[in-house]
Amino acid sequence: GQNIDQPTEMTATEGAIVQINCTYQTSGFNGLFWYQQHAGEAPTFLSYNVLDGLEEKGRFSSFLSRSKGYSYLLLKELQMKDSASYLCAGMDSNYQLIWGAGTKLIIKP
Amino acid sequence: NAGVTQTPKFRVLKTGQSMTLLCAQDMNHEYMYWYRQDPGMGLRLIHYSVGEGTTAKGEVPDGYNVSRLKKQNFLLGLESAAPSQTSVYFCASSKGSGDYNEQFFGPGTRLTVL
């Protein structure tokens, strides 16, 4: 079956660094997405990885290892506005997104 | 440029009632999707469309129907609502698949079925 696993909740301190892990099992693989979702709002796109390695975009970076079925999202210099859920989604051979349940990130001052 | 819009934002139905959720996008995207989001679960695909006049079933299509008569609109219908359909419904659109599958989401419709 297809499955995306990520931690339910994480807590971090303002100004620190946090890494949110995601493991995936999909029928075929056409890339890995990360989305951010603030409470009561729509998900918004953060990153897309299809090749192994690290993609950096400002304070956010995303890493992919296809051989391990593993990705992580790295958030640096955490700000209070980063408090949100982070959704990992793998794209299968039919180009459909398989979504994880999301990781709720709580930032403390 | 409004992006993806959804109407209504909130709705309460009684069991057995019907309703239609409307999604509109102004980005000229080919692909459109309907998802539901429930606590503790990932987004689940209900139906999707790869172009005007075409629709396909997703992971959880039972109890829902869709239509894509115009490229910019994607309608989701509930013919006979059930309490299990209480959820937040998101519409999304994308240019296509693969590298162009960055999906843009609407603000959501919060539906309660009593």
Predicted confidence at residue A85, as pLDDT, reads 97
- Integer CA distances (angstroms), B13 to A94, B6, B7, B16, B87, in order: 34, 17, 15, 8, 12
Residue A94 has pLDDT above 90, yes or no: no
Residue B98 has pLDDT above 80, yes or no: no
Predicted confidence at residue B96, as pLDDT, reads 84
Predicted confidence at residue B69, as pLDDT, reads 95
Predicted confidence (pLDDT) per residue in B49-68, tens digit: 999 999 999 999 999 999 99
Copy the structure tokens of residue B66. Answer: 């869709």
Q: Which of B6, B27, B37, B89 is the best residue to mutate to test the A interface, defined by the most A CB atoms within 10 Å of its own CB?
A: B37
If pLDDT is split at 50, 70 and 90, which confidence band does B81 have? Answer: very high
Neighboring chain B residues of A27 at a CB cutoff of 8 Å: none
CB contact under 8 A, B58 and A96: yes
Beta-bridge mates of residue B56: B48
Predicted confidence at residue A84, as pLDDT, reads 98
If pLDDT is split at 50, 70 and 90, which confidence band does B40 have? Answer: confident
A57-86: average pLDDT: 97
B96-110: average pLDDT: 87
If pLDDT is split at 50, 70 and 90, which confidence band does A51 have? Answer: very high
B40-55: average pLDDT: 94
**B2: contact with A, CB 8 A cutoff:** no
- Integer CA distances (angstroms), A67 to B32, B39, B56, in order: 31, 31, 31
**B90: contact with A, CB 8 A cutoff:** yes
**DSSP assignment letter at A69:** T
**DSSP assignment letter at A40:** T
Region at B40 (left for phi over 0; alpha for psi -120 to 50; beta for the rest): left
A54-61: average pLDDT: 96
Predicted confidence at residue A109, as pLDDT, reads 94
Report the gap between the CA of A15 and the closest CA in chain B (Å): 28
B82-107: average pLDDT: 91
Nearest of A109, A108, A88, A107 to residue A99 by alpha carbon: A88
